[in-house]
Amino acid sequence: MKNANQSPSAVVMIRPHHFIANPETAADNVFQQTSLNVSAEYITAEAGKEVQKTIEILRSHGVTVHAFDDFTKDTPDSVFPNNWFTTHEDGTIGIFPMYCENRRKEKNPEIIKILSKEYQVNKVIDYSMLEEQHLFLEGTGSMVLDHSNRYAYAVISNRMSERVLNQFCKDFDYQPVPFTATDDDNVAIYHTNVLMSMATDFVLIGLDCVKNLVERTNLIERFQKSDKEIIELTYQQICNFAGNALELSTPNGNILAMSTTAYNSLTASQVLMIESYVQIVPIDVPTIELAGGSIRCMLAGIHLSKK
Protein backbone atom coordinates (compact mmCIF):
# COMPACT_ATOMS: atom_id res chain seq x y z
CA MET A 1 0.00 0.00 0.00
CA LYS A 2 3.06 2.22 -0.22
CA ASN A 3 1.70 3.79 -3.42
CA ALA A 4 -1.84 4.21 -2.07
CA ASN A 5 -3.74 7.19 -3.41
CA GLN A 6 -4.04 10.04 -0.92
CA SER A 7 -7.18 11.54 -2.41
CA PRO A 8 -10.40 9.52 -2.75
CA SER A 9 -12.70 9.96 -5.74
CA ALA A 10 -15.78 8.94 -3.73
CA VAL A 11 -17.17 9.96 -0.35
CA VAL A 12 -20.03 9.15 2.01
CA MET A 13 -22.19 12.03 3.21
CA ILE A 14 -25.12 12.10 5.64
CA ARG A 15 -28.25 14.22 5.26
CA PRO A 16 -29.19 14.98 8.88
CA HIS A 17 -32.85 15.57 9.67
CA HIS A 18 -32.29 16.55 13.31
CA PHE A 19 -29.03 18.51 13.21
CA ILE A 20 -28.10 20.70 16.18
CA ALA A 21 -24.89 21.70 17.94
CA ASN A 22 -24.35 18.64 20.14
CA PRO A 23 -24.49 19.53 23.87
CA GLU A 24 -22.51 16.37 24.73
CA THR A 25 -19.50 17.47 22.67
CA ALA A 26 -19.46 21.13 23.76
CA ALA A 27 -17.14 20.55 26.72
CA ASP A 28 -14.01 19.84 24.66
CA ASN A 29 -14.87 21.30 21.25
CA VAL A 30 -13.99 24.99 21.50
CA PHE A 31 -14.92 25.48 17.84
CA GLN A 32 -18.57 24.79 18.64
CA GLN A 33 -21.18 27.52 19.20
CA THR A 34 -24.09 26.73 21.49
CA SER A 35 -25.71 30.11 22.27
CA LEU A 36 -27.84 30.96 19.24
CA ASN A 37 -30.94 33.11 18.85
CA VAL A 38 -32.59 30.91 16.22
CA SER A 39 -34.86 27.88 16.50
CA ALA A 40 -33.70 24.27 16.30
CA GLU A 41 -36.05 23.82 13.33
CA TYR A 42 -34.37 26.65 11.44
CA ILE A 43 -30.89 25.24 12.13
CA THR A 44 -31.95 21.76 11.00
CA ALA A 45 -33.48 23.11 7.78
CA GLU A 46 -30.43 25.25 6.95
CA ALA A 47 -28.04 22.37 7.66
CA GLY A 48 -30.04 20.14 5.32
CA LYS A 49 -29.78 22.74 2.55
CA GLU A 50 -26.03 23.07 3.08
CA VAL A 51 -25.50 19.32 2.88
CA GLN A 52 -27.54 19.06 -0.31
CA LYS A 53 -25.65 21.95 -1.89
CA THR A 54 -22.33 20.31 -0.95
CA ILE A 55 -23.45 17.05 -2.57
CA GLU A 56 -24.40 18.90 -5.76
CA ILE A 57 -21.14 20.87 -5.93
CA LEU A 58 -18.95 17.80 -5.40
CA ARG A 59 -20.90 15.79 -7.97
CA SER A 60 -20.57 18.65 -10.46
CA HIS A 61 -16.79 18.23 -10.18
CA GLY A 62 -17.03 14.49 -10.82
CA VAL A 63 -16.75 13.24 -7.24
CA THR A 64 -18.95 10.22 -6.46
CA VAL A 65 -21.11 11.03 -3.42
CA HIS A 66 -22.97 8.26 -1.60
CA ALA A 67 -25.62 10.18 0.34
CA PHE A 68 -27.62 8.64 3.19
CA ASP A 69 -30.50 10.13 5.16
CA ASP A 70 -30.45 10.10 8.96
CA PHE A 71 -33.90 10.52 10.50
CA THR A 72 -32.75 9.60 14.02
CA LYS A 73 -33.59 12.27 16.58
CA ASP A 74 -30.75 11.67 19.05
CA THR A 75 -27.78 11.81 16.65
CA PRO A 76 -27.15 15.57 16.31
CA ASP A 77 -23.62 15.10 14.88
CA SER A 78 -24.41 12.43 12.28
CA VAL A 79 -23.48 14.89 9.52
CA PHE A 80 -19.84 14.06 10.43
CA PRO A 81 -19.54 10.35 9.39
CA ASN A 82 -15.76 10.37 9.01
CA ASN A 83 -15.44 9.97 12.78
CA TRP A 84 -17.04 6.53 13.11
CA PHE A 85 -15.70 4.64 10.10
CA THR A 86 -12.79 4.60 7.66
CA THR A 87 -12.20 2.64 4.45
CA HIS A 88 -8.87 1.38 3.18
CA GLU A 89 -7.17 0.32 -0.05
CA ASP A 90 -6.81 -3.33 1.03
CA GLY A 91 -10.59 -3.72 1.36
CA THR A 92 -10.74 -3.26 5.14
CA ILE A 93 -13.18 -1.00 6.97
CA GLY A 94 -12.49 0.32 10.47
CA ILE A 95 -15.26 1.19 12.94
CA PHE A 96 -14.21 3.38 15.83
CA PRO A 97 -14.84 3.96 19.55
CA MET A 98 -16.55 7.31 20.08
CA TYR A 99 -16.06 9.58 23.09
CA CYS A 100 -19.62 10.91 23.47
CA GLU A 101 -22.45 8.45 24.05
CA ASN A 102 -24.89 9.98 21.58
CA ARG A 103 -22.24 9.83 18.84
CA ARG A 104 -22.01 6.05 19.27
CA LYS A 105 -25.57 5.85 17.93
CA GLU A 106 -24.37 7.18 14.55
CA LYS A 107 -22.78 3.85 13.62
CA ASN A 108 -25.00 2.46 10.89
CA PRO A 109 -24.38 -1.10 9.65
CA GLU A 110 -26.65 -0.41 6.65
CA ILE A 111 -24.08 2.03 5.25
CA ILE A 112 -21.35 -0.62 5.47
CA LYS A 113 -23.68 -3.18 3.86
CA ILE A 114 -24.53 -0.87 0.95
CA LEU A 115 -20.87 0.02 0.38
CA SER A 116 -20.04 -3.71 0.36
CA LYS A 117 -22.36 -4.21 -2.62
CA GLU A 118 -20.47 -1.70 -4.75
CA TYR A 119 -16.93 -1.97 -3.38
CA GLN A 120 -14.55 -4.78 -2.50
CA VAL A 121 -14.81 -5.21 1.29
CA ASN A 122 -12.74 -8.05 2.70
CA LYS A 123 -12.86 -7.35 6.41
CA VAL A 124 -14.39 -5.07 9.03
CA ILE A 125 -12.37 -4.31 12.17
CA ASP A 126 -14.63 -2.92 14.89
CA TYR A 127 -12.96 -1.19 17.85
CA SER A 128 -16.28 -0.18 19.45
CA MET A 129 -15.88 -2.50 22.44
CA LEU A 130 -13.06 -0.25 23.65
CA GLU A 131 -15.66 2.39 24.56
CA GLU A 132 -16.40 0.35 27.71
CA GLN A 133 -12.75 0.83 28.73
CA HIS A 134 -12.98 4.59 28.02
CA LEU A 135 -10.54 4.25 25.13
CA PHE A 136 -11.33 6.31 22.03
CA LEU A 137 -10.18 7.02 18.48
CA GLU A 138 -12.61 8.98 16.34
CA GLY A 139 -11.63 7.90 12.84
CA THR A 140 -10.20 10.53 10.51
CA GLY A 141 -11.21 13.19 12.99
CA SER A 142 -8.67 11.92 15.51
CA MET A 143 -6.21 10.85 12.80
CA VAL A 144 -4.95 12.52 9.66
CA LEU A 145 -3.65 9.71 7.47
CA ASP A 146 -0.81 9.95 4.98
CA HIS A 147 -1.94 7.02 2.84
CA SER A 148 1.12 6.79 0.61
CA ASN A 149 3.79 7.22 3.31
CA ARG A 150 1.80 5.28 5.95
CA TYR A 151 1.86 7.84 8.76
CA ALA A 152 -1.10 8.31 11.12
CA TYR A 153 -0.83 11.80 12.63
CA ALA A 154 -2.91 12.15 15.80
CA VAL A 155 -3.32 14.90 18.40
CA ILE A 156 -3.56 13.54 21.95
CA SER A 157 -6.96 14.48 23.40
CA ASN A 158 -10.02 13.06 25.19
CA ARG A 159 -11.02 11.58 21.85
CA MET A 160 -7.70 9.94 20.95
CA SER A 161 -6.19 7.18 23.11
CA GLU A 162 -2.67 6.19 22.10
CA ARG A 163 -3.44 2.56 22.89
CA VAL A 164 -6.17 2.50 20.23
CA LEU A 165 -4.01 4.47 17.81
CA ASN A 166 -1.23 1.90 18.16
CA GLN A 167 -3.66 -0.97 17.62
CA PHE A 168 -5.11 0.72 14.53
CA CYS A 169 -1.62 1.29 13.12
CA LYS A 170 -0.70 -2.35 13.71
CA ASP A 171 -3.91 -3.54 12.01
CA PHE A 172 -3.70 -1.14 9.05
CA ASP A 173 0.08 -0.88 8.53
CA TYR A 174 0.60 2.74 9.60
CA GLN A 175 3.28 4.33 11.73
CA PRO A 176 1.71 6.24 14.63
CA VAL A 177 2.70 9.90 15.04
CA PRO A 178 0.98 11.12 18.23
CA PHE A 179 1.65 14.71 19.29
CA THR A 180 0.24 17.45 21.48
CA ALA A 181 -1.51 20.53 20.10
CA THR A 182 -3.34 23.21 22.04
CA ASP A 183 -5.28 26.38 21.35
CA ASP A 184 -4.38 29.86 22.58
CA ASP A 185 -5.83 29.00 26.01
CA ASN A 186 -3.71 25.85 26.23
CA VAL A 187 -6.73 23.56 25.75
CA ALA A 188 -6.06 20.42 23.70
CA ILE A 189 -7.28 20.57 20.09
CA TYR A 190 -10.14 18.04 20.09
CA HIS A 191 -9.58 16.58 16.60
CA THR A 192 -6.46 16.44 14.45
CA ASN A 193 -8.41 17.19 11.28
CA VAL A 194 -9.25 20.73 12.38
CA LEU A 195 -5.53 21.38 12.77
CA MET A 196 -4.17 19.82 9.58
CA SER A 197 -5.06 18.53 6.13
CA MET A 198 -2.83 16.08 4.27
CA ALA A 199 -2.82 16.31 0.48
CA THR A 200 -0.78 14.49 -2.16
CA ASP A 201 1.89 17.20 -2.46
CA PHE A 202 1.34 19.50 0.50
CA VAL A 203 0.11 19.71 4.07
CA LEU A 204 -1.93 22.49 5.67
CA ILE A 205 -1.10 22.72 9.37
CA GLY A 206 -1.29 25.10 12.31
CA LEU A 207 2.23 24.52 13.61
CA ASP A 208 1.85 27.31 16.20
CA CYS A 209 -0.55 25.00 18.07
CA VAL A 210 2.24 22.42 18.40
CA LYS A 211 4.06 24.14 21.24
CA ASN A 212 6.49 21.30 22.03
CA LEU A 213 9.48 22.17 19.85
CA VAL A 214 10.71 18.56 19.67
CA GLU A 215 7.32 17.41 18.40
CA ARG A 216 7.09 20.33 15.99
CA THR A 217 10.54 19.58 14.56
CA ASN A 218 9.62 15.91 14.25
CA LEU A 219 6.50 16.82 12.26
CA ILE A 220 8.39 19.17 9.95
CA GLU A 221 11.04 16.53 9.29
CA ARG A 222 8.41 13.90 8.47
CA PHE A 223 6.63 16.25 6.08
CA GLN A 224 9.90 17.07 4.35
CA LYS A 225 10.88 13.41 4.17
CA SER A 226 7.46 12.72 2.63
CA ASP A 227 7.96 15.46 0.00
CA LYS A 228 5.06 17.55 1.31
CA GLU A 229 5.22 21.32 0.97
CA ILE A 230 4.31 22.81 4.35
CA ILE A 231 1.66 25.52 4.18
CA GLU A 232 1.40 27.00 7.66
CA LEU A 233 -1.91 28.19 9.08
CA THR A 234 -2.38 30.68 11.92
CA TYR A 235 -4.53 29.81 14.92
CA GLN A 236 -7.15 32.29 13.67
CA GLN A 237 -7.27 30.42 10.36
CA ILE A 238 -7.65 27.13 12.26
CA CYS A 239 -10.63 28.71 14.07
CA ASN A 240 -12.04 29.48 10.62
CA PHE A 241 -11.65 25.79 9.64
CA ALA A 242 -8.83 26.34 7.14
CA GLY A 243 -7.26 23.08 8.32
CA ASN A 244 -10.51 21.17 7.88
CA ALA A 245 -10.17 20.53 4.15
CA LEU A 246 -10.02 17.36 2.05
CA GLU A 247 -8.22 16.71 -1.22
CA LEU A 248 -10.40 14.75 -3.64
CA SER A 249 -9.64 13.10 -6.96
CA THR A 250 -11.75 14.03 -9.99
CA PRO A 251 -11.61 13.22 -13.72
CA ASN A 252 -10.14 16.71 -14.27
CA GLY A 253 -7.48 16.55 -11.56
CA ASN A 254 -7.43 16.92 -7.80
CA ILE A 255 -9.51 19.49 -5.93
CA LEU A 256 -9.36 20.73 -2.35
CA ALA A 257 -12.81 20.94 -0.78
CA MET A 258 -13.04 23.48 2.03
CA SER A 259 -15.66 25.82 3.42
CA THR A 260 -16.16 29.39 2.28
CA THR A 261 -15.30 30.45 5.83
CA ALA A 262 -11.97 28.62 5.52
CA TYR A 263 -11.24 29.95 2.04
CA ASN A 264 -11.95 33.55 3.05
CA SER A 265 -9.45 33.25 5.91
CA LEU A 266 -6.55 32.32 3.60
CA THR A 267 -4.02 34.89 2.41
CA ALA A 268 -3.46 35.48 -1.30
CA SER A 269 -0.06 33.78 -1.10
CA GLN A 270 -1.54 30.71 0.62
CA VAL A 271 -4.17 30.44 -2.10
CA LEU A 272 -1.46 30.63 -4.76
CA MET A 273 0.59 27.93 -3.03
CA ILE A 274 -2.41 25.59 -2.76
CA GLU A 275 -3.59 26.27 -6.30
CA SER A 276 -0.16 25.42 -7.69
CA TYR A 277 -1.19 21.84 -6.84
CA VAL A 278 -5.00 21.65 -6.81
CA GLN A 279 -8.15 23.63 -7.56
CA ILE A 280 -9.76 25.00 -4.40
CA VAL A 281 -13.52 24.40 -4.24
CA PRO A 282 -15.07 26.63 -1.52
CA ILE A 283 -18.47 25.49 -0.21
CA ASP A 284 -20.72 27.51 2.09
CA VAL A 285 -21.63 25.57 5.27
CA PRO A 286 -21.96 28.20 8.04
CA THR A 287 -24.78 26.42 9.88
CA ILE A 288 -22.94 23.11 10.04
CA GLU A 289 -19.84 24.93 11.29
CA LEU A 290 -21.84 25.96 14.37
CA ALA A 291 -21.39 22.34 15.51
CA GLY A 292 -17.60 22.73 15.50
CA GLY A 293 -16.81 20.90 12.27
CA SER A 294 -16.59 21.81 8.61
CA ILE A 295 -16.27 20.31 5.13
CA ARG A 296 -13.64 17.69 5.90
CA CYS A 297 -15.67 16.36 8.86
CA MET A 298 -18.67 15.95 6.53
CA LEU A 299 -16.82 13.67 4.11
CA ALA A 300 -15.94 10.04 4.78
CA GLY A 301 -13.49 9.16 2.02
CA ILE A 302 -13.89 5.88 0.14
CA HIS A 303 -10.50 4.26 -0.53
CA LEU A 304 -11.96 0.86 -1.47
CA SER A 305 -11.70 -0.67 -4.95
CA LYS A 306 -14.84 -0.98 -7.07
CA LYS A 307 -16.16 -4.49 -7.58
Query: Tens of pLDDT along 78-117?
Result: 899 999 999 999 999 999 999 988 899 999 999 999 999 9
Q: Is 67 helix (H, G, I), strand (E, B) or coil?
A: strand
Q: Which of 286, 293, 288 minimizes the C-alpha distance to 190?
A: 293
3-state secondary structure of 249: strand
- In DSSP notation, 79-96 reads T-GGGTEEE-TTSEEEE-
Number of residues assigned to the chain: 307
Name the residue among 31, 306, 2 with its Cα closest to residue 141: 31
| CA distance readout (Å), 71 to 14, 67, 106, 221 | 10, 13, 11, 45
State the pLDDT at residue 24.
Answer: 44
Which pLDDT value is given to residue 20? 62
CA distance 273 to 68: 35
Q: Which helix (H) or strand (E) holds 272?
A: helix 268-275
What does the pLDDT read at residue 38? 66
pLDDT reported for residue 39: 73
Whether residue 195 contacts residue 243, with contact meaning beta carbons closer than 8 Å, is answered with: yes
- The candidate with the shortest Cα–Cα distance to 29, out of 153, 133, 159, is 159
What is residue 37's predicted lDDT score, i.e. its pLDDT?
60
Per-residue pLDDT, 70: 86
Positions in the chain short of pLDDT 70: 1-3, 19-38
CA distance 79 to 188: 23
What is the CB-side half-sphere exposure of residue 224 using CA atoms within 13 A? 6
CA distance 279 to 99: 35
Q: pTM score, two decimals?
A: 0.93
Give the pLDDT confidence score for residue 251 in this predicted structure: 96
Domain ranges of the chain: 10-192+285-302
- Architecture per CATH, domain 10-192+285-302, reads as 5-stranded Propeller (3.75)
Parallel, antiparallel, or unpaired: how do β-strands 175-179 and 151-155 relate?
Answer: parallel
Q: What pLDDT is recorded for position 224?
A: 98
